[in-house]
Amino acid sequence: SQKIEQNSEALNIQEGKTATLTCNYTNYSPAYLQWYRQDPGRGPVFLLLIRENEKEKRKERLKVTFDTTLKQSLFHITASQPADSATYLCALREGSYKLIFGSGTRLLVRP
Amino acid sequence: SAVISQKPSRDICQRGTSLTIQCQVDSQVTMMFWYRQQPGQSLTLIATANQGSEATYESGFVIDKFPISRPNLTFSTLTVSNMSPEDSSIYLCSVALASGGADTQYFGPGTRLTVL
């Protein structure tokens, strides 16, 4: 079955720097990959979707890359702010409708 | 997008009792999903709730323990039956909306359940 790995250690960075989070997957060739943000006590919020034929996708300060050869996606937040502190989850489609989520990486942005 | 509400937002329950969680969506959707998120863990899909048919359960989850209703296209309930402390978790409902050939999921705020 599909396996998704995200760094379980929190990423701690200084405000203004670029945060880079990694998502690796095995045993599947997804048509697209999604990134979500989850704040404590809240449900995940959709951020970005990148398709298998797209190398890169941008949305404001967010950038996602998708390397289907390496089976890896990178999620970047440029000019990070303390308000960006949250847990970021990547997710892949399995079958016709099921989303499989990674365990998430917690990002802490220090002022 | 979709706006999803859940009730209750949190509850503390005694072992052996049952709790029903409600999920309301602001638009009609075909598929609704119920997830569990245990402390420090990622989301695990419990079941998919389709209107007019029985829910589809994932491996490790059974209808007797987690009965689901889906009476219409905007509402669903999940019951956690005969609870034990191991059921302490956050329960989330979500809906999938299609856009450009891909499904994006929108989540409710979750129900934090503590079983004593």
B20/A contact by beta carbon, under 8 A: no
Chain A residues in contact with B103 (beta carbon < 8 A): 93, 97, 99
Q: In the prediction, which pLDDT does B80 show?
A: 98
Average pLDDT, chain B: 92
Which tens digit of pLDDT belongs to each residue from A34-60? 999 999 888 999 999 998 889 899 999
A79/B contact by beta carbon, under 8 A: no
Q: In the prediction, which pLDDT does B97 show?
A: 83
CB A46 to CB B108 under 8 A? no
Chain A residues in contact with B45 (beta carbon < 8 A): 98-99
User: Is residue B114 within 8 Å of residue B12, measured between CB atoms?
Assistant: yes
CB A97 to CB B109 under 8 A? no
Identify each DSSP E strand in chain A by its residue range. 3-6, 11-14, 19-26, 32-38, 45-51, 56-59, 62-67, 72-77, 86-94, 98-101, 105-110
A104/B contact by beta carbon, under 8 A: yes
Gap between the Cα atoms of B39 and B56, Å rounded: 25
Buried b (16+ CB within 10 A) or exposed e, A28-57: eebebbbbbbbeeebbbebbbbbeeeeeeb
Gap between the Cα atoms of A69 and A74, Å rounded: 13
Q: In the prediction, which pLDDT does B53 show?
A: 81
Q: Is residue B54 exposed (0-12), middle (13-18) or buried (19+ Cβ within 10 Å)?
A: exposed
Longest Cα separation, chain B? 46
Gap between the Cα atoms of B101 and B104, Å rounded: 10
Gap between the Cα atoms of B73 and B67, Å rounded: 17
- Choose the closest CB to B45 out of A98, A103, A104: A98
- Choose the closest CB to A103 out of B42, B96, B104: B42
B39/A contact by beta carbon, under 8 A: no
Nearest CA in chain B to A99: B45
CB A102 to CB B109 under 8 A? no
Chain A residues in contact with B96 (beta carbon < 8 A): 97
User: Is residue A53 within 8 Å of residue A31, measured between CB atoms?
Assistant: no
Give which of A45, A59, A64, A99 to mutate to test B binding, by max B Cβ within 10 Å: A99
pLDDT tens per residue across all 111 residues of chain A:
668 999 888 999 999 999 999 999 987 778 889 999 999 888 999 999 998 889 899 999 999 999 989 999 999 999 999 999 999 999 998 777 788 899 999 999 999
**Position B31 pLDDT exceeds 90:** no
User: Is residue A1 within 8 Å of residue A94, measured between CB atoms?
Assistant: yes
Chain A residues in contact with B94 (beta carbon < 8 A): 43
User: Is residue B107 within 8 Å of residue A45, measured between CB atoms?
Assistant: yes
- For A62, the token pair is 């967010």
